[in-house]
Amino acid sequence: MERSPVAFDQNFSGAASDFPTLLRSEGLLAPALVNPVPQAGTPQKTWQPTEATTILAFKFSGGVLVAGDRRATAGNTVVYDRADKVLEIDRHSIMAIAGVPATAWEMARVLEHSFQFFRRTQLQEMSVDGKVRALSKLLRDNFGFVMQGVGVVVPIFATYDPHPKPEARLYFYDAMGAQFEATDYAATGSGSPAVRGILYYENTWGRKPLQELSEDEAVSITLRALDTAAESDTSTGGVDRSGKIYPLIKIVSREGITTLPESKIAALFKETVA
């Protein structure tokens, strides 16, 4: 049945404060994905997307260390305590994720296939600038979901650049895809304020700057930073002493990517942290 313009105007002025709300009330628009401001007497929606935090990376004498705790949460609920937030994209590139894992893992798969396709068709590796912009574009294309509150991802990207001067490169991003190159360290996620404070202190007033640390010293500081963040942030897993769950730590260097075995991380934690 066709509505008259008069009836439409009456409904608009009396039943809704804005045009999208009117369309939803008439069944002409899908419900909003973002929870609206609760009204008195109406039940609140409690669904929360699964999110993964906290991640960090910094340059040390052996390249770039990238680490992430293992906890994934949905609101105040722990969904999983063994989440993988440090993902290998190619033999010299790592993407660490903070945010919605489903979206981030799909981005990682797209990046991995894009880098492989470029290498096989052009018979050479994609440049670091190309890799950085590829991830930036994925984040920018995902911003519509971010605005709906269902797909925010704030990653860290670490790689080794052989040209023109061989060096480790480290980047962090915002949710809109802007990339920033870090000279020393980066951290994102809910526990990142505490992590950045510790890394700044160690880099400025520690026994030696971060870029002069040995591998064992770098791992020790990483464990201390994540364990400290977990004390004040329930979304950060830190080190689970009872479950013997340790952060995932990878190193990017000239030789490629090295995943530190859990036995070594556990031994360093027991010796230098616990």
pLDDT score recorded for residue 187: 97
Question: In angstroms, what CA-CA distances link 162 with 12, 159, 166, 215?
Answer: 62, 10, 4, 21
Query: Domain spanning 51-272: which superfamily?
Result: Aminohydrolase, N-terminal nucleophile (Ntn) domain (3.60.20.10)
Cα angle vertex 267, ends 265, 270, to 5°? Answer: 110
Token pair for 67:
């680490």
Q: In what order do the strands lie in the sheet with 167-173?
A: 86-90, 93-96, 156-161, 167-173, 179-181
Could you report the per-residue pLDDT of 19-61, keeping only the tens digit for each?
667 666 777 665 555 555 555 555 555 567 777 789 999 999 9
With contact defined as beta carbons under 8 Å apart, do 239 and 247 qualify? yes
Q: Which of 3-12, 138-147, 175-184, 209-218 has the lowest mean pLDDT?
A: 3-12
Kindly state the average pLDDT of the residues 240-258: 95
pLDDT class of 121 with cuts at 50, 70, 90: very high
pLDDT score recorded for residue 29: 60
Q: Which residues contact 146 (CB under 8 A, 6 or more apart)?
A: 152, 175, 176
With contact defined as beta carbons under 8 Å apart, do 66 and 92 qualify? no
pLDDT score recorded for residue 164: 81
Could you report the per-residue pLDDT of 209-222, keeping only the tens digit for each?
999 999 999 999 99
Question: What does DSSP assign to residue 179?
Answer: E
Query: Whole-angstrom Cα distance, residue 189 to residue 185?
Result: 14
**Which residues are 258's β-sheet partners?**
251
Residue 116 half-sphere exposure toward CB, CA atoms < 13 A: 9
* pTM score of the predicted model: 0.82
Catalytic residue selected from 21, 42, 46, 53: 53
Kindly state the average pLDDT of the residues 204-231: 96
Provide the residue type at 191 as one letter: G
Helices (H), the chain: 5-15, 19-25, 101-122, 128-141, 143-147, 192-205, 215-232, 262-272
Helices 262-272 and 215-232 cross at an angle (nearest 10°) of 80
pLDDT score recorded for residue 6: 45
**149 vs 209, residue with greater confidence:** 209
Average pLDDT, the chain: 87
259 catalytic? Reply is: no
Query: Whole-angstrom Cα distance, residue 58 to residue 259?
Result: 15
Expressed in percent and rounded to 5, the helix, strand and coil fractions of the chain are 40, 25, 40
Query: Whole-angstrom Cα distance, residue 21 to residue 183?
Result: 47
pLDDT score recorded for residue 163: 82
**Which residues are 179's β-sheet partners?**
173
Q: Which residues contact 59 (CB under 8 A, 6 or more apart)?
A: 65, 168, 170, 183, 184, 185, 210, 211
Please state, for a pLDDT cut of 70, what percent of the chain lies above it.
83
